[in-house]
Structure 1
Amino acid sequence: MKELNVEWLSRRKYGEAWELQKQLVKEIERQERNDFLLLLEHSPTYTIGSDRHPEHLLYGSEELARRGIEVYEIDRGGDITYHGPGQLVGYPLLYLDAEGLDLHQYLRNLEEAIIKLLAEFGIQGGRKPEYTGVWVGDRKIAAIGVKFNKARTRRGFVTSHGFALNVKKNVEEDGFQGIIPCGITEYGVTSLETLTGIELQVDEIGRRIVPCFAEVFGYASVTAEEILPSVKS
């Protein structure tokens, strides 16, 4: 039976969560842990993926410092995006066996888990064939960018990075105006609060996405687990 461990990390700096992902990827590869889903918020951050288009970052260093936004060049796929308070970030750290592996289907499954969550609020989420992520009409509500880490001790891969779902209205204005998100100029972004018209809490949305994720990925059980104190702040 597939088992998934889940932990809500509250708000974390991006660098801290990135180092934690790296550690857990190694532990999952060595079969020292079950698959893991980290759920959290970040302090204001721009991350630039492997597609790297620095011109899509519109703020200079002084403006970034004034706004308290950190910038990281990271090892996931994709271009630039924003992470910040009011956004639910999910990092699935999952072992994918090489037999019958479809890496594109993994991305579609991430999208499907978010689409299922949106349906609980009466929102019809969808996809755009040319872009990864989840859309409501012509506005993006969730960005997705992942890395497939080739396992050294067994065949297959361990996933890292993941999705960022806009929950609070403030996310639309607090960071996205400083970038061209994912290099896409013709479409905007939206949030759950904007679409529902009700006030929502990020941790509650994190709790509600877990069964959607477990259903899509076929986990028989989900366990809340605290990560070892040595890797927590």
Structure 2
Amino acid sequence: MQGPSLCLFSWLGTVEYLSARSLQDSLVGLVHDGESPNTLLILEHPHVYTRGRLSQAEHLLSSEDELAASGVPVHDTDRGGQVTYHGPGQLVGYPIINLRDWSGGPLKYVRTLEQTIVDTLADFGIPAHTEQGLTGVWTTAGKVAAIGVKISRGVSFHGFSVNINTDLSWYRHIVSCGIADRPVTSMSRLLGEKVDQEAVRYSLVYRFGRAMGMRMSEVSPSEFVLAEE
């Protein structure tokens, strides 16, 4: 009887957005060709705004020039979803997964990512839920996690972000995920104290492995070559 498929994971620390994107592109090809196992990249980005395929110009409330003057780039990307923010205090996960070998398609995959985050938050005493017709993870105080993925030749990339100790004031520059009437929140705001980010990372890896039915194995960040900005 065949056991759970292998998924490597690694904490890469702080990585510029375009460098992480380049790494994902290379891994998608390797995973597709069977030259690398499924991989979950866990990292943090410096301040950056990204626009998904459904983004609308009016959802960026400050001009790109204004943001650039503050040293904050805006990047267009081919993931699903609309405009979002990444930055310090936020956990970003990029699963590079061969869905052809997994027991489910894109919709089930997104729902599994949502459930992974709901279960992770429960480990820290935070009730969270999904909402009909919306993607991501929600609490009574607002959205705490965003999801935007792309599937290329049966392999997933891009992924999710969870606000842990995020400075939520950075969301003032955007209509987050195109939803104007719903606030964003963070684990630290919900709990009223700073949260151990390493503990969240390991809880999430465990929950991800369980939800996906995969055997998780940690590897050194040195296994991955990051492109220079």
Residues 214, 222 of structure 1: 8 Å contact kept:
no
Say whether residues 1:75 and 2:78 are aligned partners: yes
Equivalent of residue 148 in structure 1, options 134, 148, 151: 151
Say whether residues 1:120 and 2:123 are aligned partners: yes
TM-score normalised to structure 2 length: 0.92
| 3-state SS of paired residue (2:79) | coil
CA distance in 1, matches of 2:183, 2:126: 17
Say whether residues 1:224 and 2:219 are aligned partners: yes
Residues 5, 225 of structure 1: 8 Å contact kept:
no
Task: Name 1:7's counterpart in structure 2.
Answer: 10
The residue identity in structure 2 corresponding to 1:213 is F
Q: Tell me how far 1:63 sits from its aligned partner.
A: 1.9
User: Structure 1 segments of 4 or more deviating over 4 A?
Assistant: none
Task: Name 2:49's counterpart in structure 1.
Answer: 46
Q: Tell me how far 1:225 sits from its aligned partner.
A: 4.0
Unaligned runs of 5+ in 2: none
Residues 6, 214 of structure 2: 8 Å contact kept:
yes
CA distance in 1, matches of 2:125, 2:156: 30
Task: Name 1:137's counterpart in structure 2.
Answer: 140
Task: Name 2:36's counterpart in structure 1.
Answer: 33
Equivalent of residue 177 in structure 2, options 170, 182, 188: 182
CA distance in 2, matches of 1:191, 1:46: 17
CA distance in 2, matches of 1:204, 1:221: 16
CA distance in 2, matches of 1:140, 1:229: 32
CA distance in 1, matches of 2:141, 2:126: 13
| 3-state SS of paired residue (1:128) | coil
| 3-state SS of paired residue (2:53) | coil
Equivalent of residue 166 in structure 1, options 151, 163, 166: 163
| 3-state SS of paired residue (1:222) | strand
CA distance in 1, matches of 2:221, 2:35: 15
CA distance in 1, matches of 2:226, 2:48: 21
CA distance in 1, matches of 2:38, 2:224: 19
- Could you say what the CA RMSD is over the residues aligned between the two structures, in angstroms? 1.7
| 3-state SS of paired residue (1:125) | coil
CA distance in 2, matches of 1:63, 1:70: 10
User: After superposition, what is the alpha-carbon deviation per residue over 1:51-70, rounded to whole angstroms, capped at 9, x for unaligned?
Assistant: 12011001113320232211
Q: Tell me how far 1:232 sits from its aligned partner.
A: 6.2
User: Mean alpha-carbon deviation: is it higher for 36-45 or for 65-74?
Assistant: 65-74
Q: Tell me how far 1:221 sits from its aligned partner.
A: 4.0
User: When you count strand as a share of all residues, which structure comes out higher?
Assistant: 1
Task: Name 2:93's counterpart in structure 1.
Answer: 90
User: After superposition, what is the alpha-carbon deviation per residue over 1:34-79, rounded to whole angstroms, capped at 9, x for unaligned?
Assistant: 1000000001111100112011001113320232211111010111
Equivalent of residue 110 in structure 1, options 97, 101, 113: 113
TM-score normalised to structure 1 length: 0.91
Q: Tell me how far 1:196 sits from its aligned partner.
A: 1.1
When residues 76 and 202 of structure 1 are mapped into structure 2, their CA distance, relative to the original with a 3 A threshold, is same
Task: Name 1:153's counterpart in structure 2.
Answer: none
When residues 180 and 221 of structure 1 are mapped into structure 2, their CA distance, relative to the original with a 3 A threshold, is closer
Residues 164, 187 of structure 2: 8 Å contact kept:
yes
Unaligned runs of 5+ in 1: 151-156
The residue identity in structure 1 corresponding to 2:213 is G
